[in-house]
Every structure is written in structure tokens, then in C-alpha cells.
Amino acid sequence: MHIILNGDQREFPDSLSASQLLQDLGLTGKRLALEINREIVPRSTFDSHIIQPGDRIEIVHAIGGG
């Protein structure tokens, strides 16, 4: 399936959970926040949240800023 991940077009297998997506990206266990179609996906629901084709996904973290 086709998704938009941090602004880039990407292909992933169907029926992927948020946890599996993060694992595929090597981000498991990192301190990050996930937003799908402008809705926050709480960390506690990563296992059960299934990514849908066409989802717009944002993965963010904290960096230096003033």
C-alpha cells in the first residue's frame, strides 16, 4: 500500500500496525510521537492501530530549539 510518511511517498505491505511500521523504520523504542491524518496516535495503541492505504503519517521527535 501507498502512504505518505513525513512528506514522502512510500510503499509498505498491507495490514501493517503502527508498531510494525516503526519496527520497519528502525524506530522501535525511540522517543517519538505519531500523527496519522492529523490525529495523534497514542503510544498505548501502536500495536492495535492498523495503517490504511493513503494515510498521511507524521513521526516527530524533540530536537534543539529556542
Partner 1 sequence: MSTVMHSPAAMNGDPLIIAGVEYHSRLLVGTGKYKDMEETRAATEASGAEIVTVAIRRTNIGQNADEPNLLDVISPQQYTLLPNTAGCYTAEDAIRTCRLARELLDGHELVKLEVLGDEKTLFPDIMQTLQATEVLVRDGFKIMVYTNDDPIVAKRFEELGCVAVMPLAAPIGSGLGIRNPYNIMTIVENATVPILVDAGVGTASDAALAMELGCDGVLMNTAIAGARDPVLMASAMKKGIEAGREAYRAGRIPRKRFASASSPIDGTFF
Which cell numbers hold the place of 50? 492498523
In sequence order, the β-bridge partners of residue 33 are 60
Q: Does 26 bind partner 1 (CB under 8 A)?
A: yes
Which cell numbers hold the place of 18? 503502527
Identified binder of partner 1 from the candidate list 18, 34, 36, 51, rule CB under 8 A = 34
Q: Are 55 and 36 in contact (CB under 8 A)?
A: yes
Nearer to partner 1, 53 or 66 (CB): 66
Q: Does 27 bind partner 1 (CB under 8 A)?
A: yes
Q: Which residues bind partner 1 (CB under 8 A)?
A: 5-8, 25-27, 30-35, 38, 40, 42-43, 58-66
